[in-house]
Amino acid sequence: MAILLAFFAILGGGLVAFTFQITYEQIKANERAALLQTLSSLVPRDQYDNDLFEDIHYMRNETLLGSDKPIVIYRARKQGQPVAAVLNSVAPNGYNGAINLLIGISYEGVLMGVRVVSHQETPGLSDSIDERRSDWILGFNGHSLQNLEEKDWRVKRDGGVFDQFTGATITPRAVVSAVYNTLQFFQQHRDEIFLNAN
């Protein structure tokens, strides 16, 4: 009986390894395509002519970007001139944990868009931060540090301009704060972000 169990364990392990090996490249290609689609929703494809996956830069700032690890910044350029950057940022204080974001910012410092990459927020209540569930996240488009004052970068309940969700204020607060912090980071480090083309 032990020999039979060992045989099936080896066979099962071999099948899992074989399946992983033959699907790994396809999974990576699908992940890249999904990321490119998200990046293109933040920075329209006709606004840049470089390869966003090649023109990247890593920076770290736990206070403003929400992570103690280096985050990737995708840099969009047209004819070698900076157009926009898409930054990975983290809202560490969501209701159920960290909320990972992609934030597109034009070279002039204007938000081109924000998308939630992953979260653990409560389904049906605070998951309205996800574009597939609600258009709430689109409310950041066009805002900047120049056209909103610091006090405006809050949810309406706290005296700001951004809507909150009925019964769920923690999640929108966290996202608004993360977007504001990311804009501050971009403003402080814009030249460094675009300094070297890869």
* Domain total of the chain: 2
User: What number is the average pLDDT over the span 141-160?
Assistant: 94
Residues found in the chain: 198
User: What pLDDT is recorded for position 85?
Assistant: 97
Concatenated DSSP letters of 138-162: GGGTT-BTTTS-GGGSSBGGGTSSB
**Is the residue at 34 inside a domain?**
yes
Domain extent at residue 32:
1-42
Residues 11 and 78 in one domain: no
Phi first, then psi: give them for residue 189, nearest 5 degrees: -125, 15
pLDDT digits (tens, 9 = 90+) for 33-75: 777 788 888 999 999 999 998 999 999 998 999 888 999 999 9
Residues 20 and 67 in one domain: no
**Is the residue at 118 inside a domain?**
yes
Asked if pLDDT for residue 96 goes beyond 60, the answer is yes
Q: Among residues of the chain, what percentage have pLDDT more than 70? A: 84
Residues 136 and 170 in one domain: yes
Q: What is the pTM of this model?
A: 0.81
In the chain, the amino acid numbered 172 is P
Looking at per-residue pLDDT, the higher value among 144 and 128 belongs to 144
User: What pLDDT is recorded for position 46?
Assistant: 93
- For residues 9-26, one letter each, b for 16 or more C-beta atoms within 10 angstroms of the residue's C-beta and e for the rest, the string is eeeeeeeeeeeeeeeeee
User: What pLDDT is recorded for position 24?
Assistant: 61
Residues 138 and 84 in one domain: yes
Residues 187 and 125 in one domain: yes
Q: Which two tokens stand for residue 17?
A: 């390894």
Residues 2 and 94 in one domain: no
Domain boundary, last residue among 42, 58, 73: 42
Residues 107 and 82 in one domain: yes
Concatenated DSSP letters of 90-114: EEEEETTEEEEEEEEEETTSBEEEE
Give the pLDDT band of residue 114 (cuts 50, 70, 90).
very high
Residues 54 and 31 in one domain: no
Residues 67 and 163 in one domain: yes
